[in-house]
Structure 1
Amino acid sequence: MRFIAANTNIPVPRVYDEGPESAPSITMDYIEGERLDKVWNGLSEEEKLDIVAQWKGMLFELCNFKGEYTGLVHRGRAIDGRIFDFEGGPFDTEEVFNHFLLSDTFTTTPKILRDIAFNSLRTDHEIVFTHCDFAPRNIIVKDGRVVGLLD
């Protein structure tokens, strides 16, 4: 969040302290508002479209930062958010990242099928900065505006 605060116009809380990797935690400012996942169903169609447009703008702003590796900012480990404990890297190439994604995913799948899956993955994507958990529970809204991006 410090990187986002220093390099974008995206509203994030000020971070005061971070816990160790073994006990991850963040001490940060409180942002007044409500989580988007809690209020979404009560919003009008117009409010939803406006919030999605703001959210999209944030994602595009993050993706303007080009990278040379796959992993957390400052060469931290990559996290596959679909599997909470699935971490590795950083990865200098997309090919190595793809191996990581498939390494523990299909352990009971025959090797020939794993090879087919791996060979079907592209290795020429542009690497850009993004949020590894860009979900409604991490978006704070107030009065129809996105006022905070968390996590």
Structure 2
Amino acid sequence: MDFITNSTIIPVPKVYETRHVQTERCKEFCIVMEYISGKPLNKTWNDLDEGQKTTICLQVNGYLAQLRELTGDQIMATDGGALK
């Protein structure tokens, strides 16, 4: 997410911490991040008018276009370290 924040104008939550958690069943990865208030789009979509839906679609299209343009100079773990 830091890469996206530093490389685009896509709004993403701030990451506070990443950690690995070992449970009895598996090893899990957790991201502790900023809470963004609001309603999920899937809960409000049917209440929006066509103009609002078009605006959102154009916004998402712009975000996807930015993501398609990204290139990295290396492959790394989410914390910026080496892959294990």
Q: Return the match for 1:30 from 22, 25, 35.
A: 35
RMSD: 2.1
The answer as to whether partners of 2:20 and 2:28 remain within 8 angstroms in 1 is yes
Q: Deviations over 1:44-95 (max 9, x none)?
A: 1110110000000000011111368xxxx8345xxxxxxxxxxxxxxxxxxx
2:15 and 2:72 map into 1 onto residues whose CA distance is 23
* Unmatched segments (≥5 aa) in structure 2: 22-26, 78-84
Higher relative contact order (CA 8 A, sep 6+): 1
Give the number of the structure whose alpha-carbon radius of gyration is greater: 1
Asked if the contact 2:7/2:70 (under 8 Å) is kept, the reply is no
Provide Cα deviations, 1:87-140, integer angstroms capped at 9, x if missing partner: xxxxxxxxxxxxxxxxxxxxxxxxxxxxxxxxxxxxxxxxxxxxxxxxxxxxxx
Alignment partner of 1:60 out of 58, 61, 65: 65
Q: Which stretches in structure 1 are left out of the alignment for 5+ residues?
A: 77-151
The residue that corresponds to 1:12 in the other structure is 12
- Runs of 4+ residues deviating >4 angstroms: none
The offset of 1:34, in angstroms, is 1.5
Identity %: 39
What number of residue pairs does the alignment pair up?
72
